[in-house]
């Protein structure tokens, strides 16, 4: 991108800590414009540099990047980011302002020091537009109350979330009844006979309808055919609607190594994934079922009373509930019931927080990641990049139910995955639409 014609055209972006913890290389993504890092941000990053979570990795990588970029420059001076096509950066020390956010908001805190940095630049760089960039909505609102331009960090953000709604499943009306009969009779049909010149996406699912009959189908891109999809049991769990049937087909299809399942609470995402894993248990060395820990009130679990097991159990309980539901499809004397207990005792089936599994080798593993909407894009990439031979990964979640403060429906890892990997031959995505937990649960979802 060519450099702006004058300093006046170049904006100054002030980065908040939340942006750097989201993406350590964010400083490089502002084209020819200049970037300011308040010293308060560096002080906050210092507190995050120790640990094994993704935010700790991002903090360490940013500090290394800043050290590399600064070289022999003083960091409080404008320093080139990377050649002529990009702007400069500097670290701004705590300035003295006429307007003081600590006084205005009646409390001294780091967020207000970051606002003071933006206020200082706005006062001393009158010819240039100063913009605070933060993933913290509340900080952006405070900035706007001080007449500071404030924006979310947009890089990597899904522009049109509604497009993800149509990924994976298609409904075709007015299909030739003879074509549907052929799919029933021989189990498949040439894709061209039904789809014609329509664009074909790998591992797409279809509901084909005519005025006489209908059929569920799957597009096999290797064979270029539409295959019939039948409802099938997985560890005595039976799909209750077309979307669940598609999801279980993807979970059980050995050619598909990566699956994402989107849906609101009660649609059966985790249940289907776990049932499918148990049905295929002989094909894998272990089944991992994990979820990220998002503490209530954003407090670290260290604040909670008890030992580590008692602290983590409440977060893992929904996963155990799904396992118990599947187990209770059988009598206690049935071998299937006893097999689940045996798998848990022998650690062939492991339910743990994601942080405990992230560093492990993922070869010959069936890996289910629940509540994936609470992961960052980098965390999703890290998990998938660790997959070894004969590993299958299922991500489940609801992109509209975010429990972490710095993610939203457009910037979370699950949305990022669906958008970036769609139409890949190793990947399938299904959106579950109908709640199957109970009539009472459906009442809550639809009317309350």
Residue 215 falls inside a structural domain: yes
Residue located via tokens 């299904």: 430
Q: Are residues 183 and 246 in the same domain?
A: no
Q: How many domains does the chain have?
A: 3
Q: Decide which of 112, 131, 152 is a domain's last residue.
A: 152
Q: Is 68 exposed, middle or buried (0-12, 13-18, 19+ CB in 10 A)?
A: exposed
**Are residue 207 and residue 248 in the same domain, yes or no?**
no
pTM here is 0.84
Contact 346, 266 (CB under 8 A): no
Structure tokens at 116: 């003071």
CA-CA distance, 371 to 139, in Å (whole number)? Answer: 26
Q: What is the CA radius of gyration of the chain?
A: 26
Contact status, residue 67 vs residue 27, Cβ threshold 8 Å? no
The reply to whether 235 falls in a domain is no
**Residue where a domain stops, chosen among 230, 257, 279:** 230
Residue 64 CB-half CA count within 13 A: 9
248 shares its domain with 394: yes
What count of other Cβ atoms lies within 10 Å of the Cβ of residue 108?
Answer: 11
Element (H, E) at 227: strand 225-228
| Contact in structure between 225 and 203 (CB atoms under 8 Å) | no
Domain end residue (candidates: 134, 152, 170): 152
* Residue 163 and residue 73 in one domain: no
Q: Write down the pLDDT at residue 200.
A: 87
Name the DSSP letter for residue 302.
Answer: G
Q: What angle do CA 330, 336, 342 make, to 5 degrees?
A: 125
Together in a domain, 419 and 441: yes
3-state helix, strand, coil in the chain (%, to 5): 40, 20, 40
In a domain, 42, yes or no: yes
**Residues 337 and 191 both lie in one domain:** no
- For 286-336, strand residue ranges (E) read 286-291
> Do 205 and 281 reside in the same domain of the chain?
no
Query: What is d(CA 292, CA 319) in angstroms, rounded to the nearest whole number?
Result: 12
Provide the CA 164 distance to its chain's centre, in angstroms. Answer: 13
Residues 223, 141, single domain; the answer is no
- pLDDT value at residue 275: 95
The CATH number linked to 112 is: 3.40.50.1010
Q: What is the pLDDT of residue 230?
A: 95
pLDDT for residue 298: 40
Q: Where are the alpha helices (DSSP H) in 146-203?
A: 177-186, 191-195
Question: Angle at the Cα of 275 (from 271 to 279), degrees rounded to 5?
Answer: 170
pLDDT in the model for residue 122 = 94
Identify the CATH number of the domain in which residue 162 sits: 2.30.130
Report the C-alpha gap between 418 and 162 in whole angstroms: 12
258, 326: one domain: yes
Question: Which three-class secondary structure state does DSSP give residue 210?
Answer: coil
Domain that holds residue 220: 158-230
pLDDT at residue 348, as a whole number: 92
Can you list the pairs that 305-311 forms with residues at least 24 positions away whose Cβ atoms lie under 8 Å?
none
| Residues forming beta bridges with residue 205, ordered by sequence position | 169, 218
Residue 2 lies in a domain: no
Element (H, E) at 56: helix 54-70
The stretches in the chain having pLDDT less than 70 are 1-7, 83-84, 165-167, 294-315, 358-359, 436-437, 445
**CATH code, 303:** 3.40.50.300
| 8 Å CB contact between 447 and 432 | no
Q: Are 99 and 188 found together in one domain?
A: no
pLDDT given for residue 358 in this prediction: 66
Q: Are residues 31 and 140 in the same domain?
A: yes
Q: Are residues 165 and 256 in the same domain?
A: no
In a domain, 174, yes or no: yes
**Any domain includes 177:** yes
Q: Is residue 354 part of a domain?
A: yes
**Measuring CA to CA, which residue among 136, 111, 126, 151 is closest to residue 13?**
151
- Rounded distance between C-alpha atoms, residue 376 and residue 21, angstroms: 10
Q: Is residue 364 part of a domain?
A: yes
């Amino acid at each position: 991108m060519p450099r702006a014609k004058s300093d006046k055209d170049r904006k100054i972006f002030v980065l908040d800590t939340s942006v750097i913890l989201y993406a350590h290389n964010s400083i490089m993504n502002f084209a020819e414009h200049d970037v300011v890092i308040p010293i308060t941000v560096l002080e906050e990053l210092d507190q995050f540099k120790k640990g094994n979570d993704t935010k700790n990795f991002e903090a360490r990588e940013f500090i290394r990047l800043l050290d590399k970029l600064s070289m022999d420059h003083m960091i409080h001076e404008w320093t080139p980011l990377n050649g002529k096509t990009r702007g400069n950066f500097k670290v701004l020390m705590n300035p003295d302002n006429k307007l003081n956010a600590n006084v205005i908001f009646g409390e001294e805190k780091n967020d207000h020091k970051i606002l003071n940095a933006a206020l200082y630049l706005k006062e001393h760089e009158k010819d240039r537009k100063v913009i605070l960039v933060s993933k913290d909505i509340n900080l952006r609102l405070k900035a706007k109350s001080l007449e500071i331009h404030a924006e979310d960090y947009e890089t990597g953000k899904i522009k049109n979330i509604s497009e993800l709604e149509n990924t994976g499943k298609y409904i075709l009306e007015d299909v030739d009844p003879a074509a549907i009969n052929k799919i029933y009779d021989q189990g498949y049909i040439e894709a061209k006979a039904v789809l014609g010149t329509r664009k074909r996406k790998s591992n797409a699912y279809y509901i084909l309808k005519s005025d006489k009959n209908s059929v569920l189908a799957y597009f096999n891109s290797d064979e270029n055919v539409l295959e019939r999809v039948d409802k099938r049991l997985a560890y005595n769990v039976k799909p209750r609607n077309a979307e669940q049937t598609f999801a279980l087909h993807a979970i059980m299809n050995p050619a598909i190594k990566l699956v994402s399942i989107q849906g609101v609470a009660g649609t059966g995402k985790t249940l289907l994934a776990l049932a499918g894993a148990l049905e295929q248990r002989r094909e894998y060395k272990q089944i991992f079922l994990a979820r990220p820990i998002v503490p209530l009130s954003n407090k670290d679990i260290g604040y909670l009373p008890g030992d580590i097991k008692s602290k983590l159990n409440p977060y893992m309980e929904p996963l155990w509930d799904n396992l118990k539901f599947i187990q209770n499809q059988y009598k206690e004397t049935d071998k299937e019931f006893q097999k689940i207990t045996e798998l848990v005792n022998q650690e062939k089936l492991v339910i743990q927080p994601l942080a405990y599994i992230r560093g492990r080798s993922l070869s010959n593993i069936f890996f289910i990641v629940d509540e994936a909407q609470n992961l960052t894009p980098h965390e999703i990439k890290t998990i998938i990049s660790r997959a070894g031979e004969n590993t299958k990964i299922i991500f489940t979640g609801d992109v509209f139910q975010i429990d972490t403060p710095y993610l939203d429906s457009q910037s979370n890892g699950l949305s990022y995955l669906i958008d970036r990997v769609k139409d890949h031959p190793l990947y399938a995505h299904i959106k579950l639409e109908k709640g199957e937990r109970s009539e009472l649960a459906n009442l809550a979802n639809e009317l309350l």
